[in-house]
Structure 1
Amino acid sequence: MLERYKTLREPGVKEIVIRKSRFIGHGRPVASEAEAVAFIEEIKKQHWNATHNCSAYIVGERDEFQKQSDDGEPSG
């Protein structure tokens, strides 16, 4: 087991508005990839009318499981 690593201590939410666009970030510590996927689905249901639901996770002692999605967000 690793002696030190960075992770979230507790769930959190942060909202900002940039040029009339509203961005809401949700984070929560998880113990498995399945838990991460379930959390993302929970947030997508909560914000079902959002234009984009971007997501990402890294799970595992050595970052074994990683995934991100920009949900079709335009570049730039």
Structure 2
Amino acid sequence: IFADNHHAKRQARQFATVMQGLAKRYHVTRYNAVGHSYGGNIIFDYLTAQVPQRAQINKFVTIGSTYPGLTTQQL
């Protein structure tokens, strides 16, 4: 599902599909997320997108993510 790793916003929509499946199939209501490099960007875009989120995030850790287009103040 994440074969094309150069479009974080597109992958964030795909991640939303994954999270909906986890909520429906396994009744996931809360989760922690760890993203490395571009994975951190994907999770960040998912969390800040205007998409319904069935599960609530507890903690979000990112390692080596760049957040293209955002300033430190915006983060």
TM-score of Structure 1 vs Structure 2, range by shorter chain: 0.3 to 0.5
Report which of the two has the higher share of strand.
Answer: 1
User: TM-score normalised to the size of structure 2?
Assistant: 0.36
* Higher RCO structure (Cα 8 Å, ≥6 apart): 2
Structure 1 or 2, whichever has the larger Rg, is 1
Report which of the two has the higher share of helix.
Answer: 2
User: TM-score normalised to the size of structure 1?
Assistant: 0.36
